[in-house]
Amino acid sequence: MFISAEIGINHNGDMSICKKLIDVAVSAGCDAVKFQKRDIDQVYTQEFLDSPRESPWGTTQRDQKKGLEFGKEQYEEIDKYCKKKNIEWFASAWDLNSQEFLRQFNCNYNKVASAMIIYEDLLKKIAEEKKHTFISTGMSNLNDIKKAVEIFKSANCPFELMHTVSTYPMKDEDANLNIINTLRKKFNCNVGYSGHEAGLAISYAAAALGISSLERHITLSRAMYGSDQAASVEPNGLRQLVGGVRKIEKAMGNGEKKIIEAEKIIAEKLRGHLF
């Protein structure tokens, strides 16, 4: 199973926090860290950007959104640091300019954020790169997903779907993990899980359903500033999660019922009086 630690915007625009989060992902045994990239003038309206919002960076939405965005210099540093730490990184682009921006780093993976699954021009731009793409399916119906799948299939681009519920944090009763099986059967592809819940139990359950990938937001502390922090996993929790998921992978087995070698000796002891 491919495990991604979603740093997203939880770095709060601070490279030292970002590097600490990368270190957390490495120490926990994750396969990759993931970010989000936006051209804020493409993603948001001028009216929205000019509207008031108090944040550590100023008093408008523009100040806040700009404060959370890394540029070329920062991503070059991320690229260099991840290579040094021997961990993959990739990002979900929220607009065409951002996908173009990410191409310069030649990451091995792409990601379609749930919010972008209906943005067909972006999906086509991503699919033409023919890199393995994780497609989150929050806020979408089967028809939306079908259109996205058709774009990637027609481009001959490898992909997998990710069951996602786009609430932060997600309520346990909204998880509906059986959708994982629904998507697998409907689209005949691998299906992962991108979780926004508090705690680890639901992610463990998803792992037991045979997901191909798992993504969870990570943070140094859920008390930090930011809209995603409360739905994120802290360092100790991430280490528990990765360790638990790796155990579950081993424990699932192949489904073939037989007497294993270690049982044969026990059987002789416990059944000896029967023969």
Rounding to the nearest 10 degrees, give the CA dihedral for residues 126, 179, 226, 34. Answer: -40
Burial of residue 118 (CB within 10 Å: 0-12, 13-18, 19+) is middle
Say how far apart CA 251 and CA 232 lie, in whole Å. Answer: 26
Residue recorded with tokens 């939306």? 144
CATH class of 2-274: alpha beta
Residue pair 11/55 in contact (Cβ under 8 Å)? The answer is no
All residue ranges of the chain with pLDDT < 50 are: none
Can you spell out the DSSP letters for 107-144? -SEEEE-GGGTT-HHHHHHHHTT--EEEEE-TT--HHH
Who contacts 55 (Cβ-Cβ below 8 Å, separation ≥6)? 63, 64, 67, 225
Can you spell out the DSSP letters for 23-79? HHHHHHT-SEEEEEE--HHHHS-HHHHHSEEEETTEEEHHHHHHHT---HHHHHHHH
pLDDT for the residue numbered 275: 86
pLDDT for the residue numbered 14: 97
pLDDT > 70 fraction of the chain, expressed in percent and rounded? 100
| Average pLDDT value over all residues in the chain | 97
pLDDT for the residue numbered 39: 98
Look up the pTM and report it.
0.95
Give the tens place of pLDDT for each residue, 84-122.
Answer: 999 999 999 999 999 999 999 999 999 999 999 999 999
Who contacts 179 (Cβ-Cβ below 8 Å, separation ≥6)? 163
pLDDT for the residue numbered 234: 97
Q: What DSSP state is assigned to residue 171?
A: P
pLDDT for the residue numbered 165: 98
Say how far apart CA 70 and CA 67 lie, in whole Å. Answer: 8
